[in-house]
Amino acid sequence: MTMTFTRKLALADIADARAYERERDQFRAHVIELKRRRRVHLGTVVAIVFENRDTMRFQVQEMARVEHINTDAGIQEELDVYNPLIPEPGQLCATLFLELTTEDQMREWLPKLVGVERSLVFRLPDGSEVRCGVEAAHAEQLTREHVTAAVHFIDFRFTPEQVAAFTEGVVLAIDHPEYHEEALLSPVTVAELRSDLLGSD
């Protein structure tokens, strides 16, 4: 049987303000734990959070809450922004953060890391590599010639063979000329991301 379930969010998936307040504490705790399993640190400056349907629903709900968005048209605008960050089978979507907390760090690293959003690569146990791309809707806003942004939206697209090879032993690396780091993914993170790649929730 072919599954017709789509991961993308629709208006019906977003609770109105009162309903969301009733579930917010529990849902927020769930998403914090989810992001813990889906976060990878690369050195001291770069962190990657792999997004899924729940993390993006949380983002939309929180934006609606803070901005007091209570119309279908307003919610749909948020869905149009964040739905591209929900991965399809064979794809991983992530938010890349430059974790800079001082003015001195920003002055040093934002010019130095121009192009960082194209510098991440998965190294799989079978010897193959999957390099990131930039989420198209955000590329023009975040790409600058002489200074980078502190947040980028990226994705990785895998062949079926690469999905099959995504097992324990996966390494995520960054090979920017000014910043070389790598991290062996934990078994918990591998399991999380395999669920994205296989289309299972």
- 113-168 pLDDT tens trace: 999 999 999 999 999 999 999 866 665 555 566 888 899 999 999 999 999 999 99
What pLDDT is stored for residue 7 in this prediction? 80
* Cβ atoms of residues 176 and 123 within 8 Å: no
What pLDDT is stored for residue 146 in this prediction? 83
Average pLDDT value over all residues in the chain: 92
Q: For the whole model, what pTM was predicted? A: 0.90
Q: 179-193 pLDDT, tens per residue?
A: 999 999 999 999 999
pLDDT surpassing 50 at residue 2: no
Return the structure tokens found at 87.
């991965």
pLDDT surpassing 90 at residue 18: yes
pLDDT surpassing 60 at residue 31: yes
List C-alpha distances in Å: 102 to 41, 92, 106, 117, 150.
19, 30, 6, 21, 12
Q: Residue range 24-50: average pLDDT?
A: 97
Distance CA 151, CA 153 (A): 7
Phi and psi, residue 60, nearest 5°: -65, -45
pLDDT-based confidence at residue 170 (cuts at 50, 70, 90): very high
pLDDT surpassing 70 at residue 56: yes
pLDDT-based confidence at residue 3 (cuts at 50, 70, 90): very low
pLDDT surpassing 80 at residue 5: no
Distance CA 166, CA 158 (A): 9
Q: Which of 3-17, 62-76, 133-147 has the lowest average pLDDT?
A: 133-147
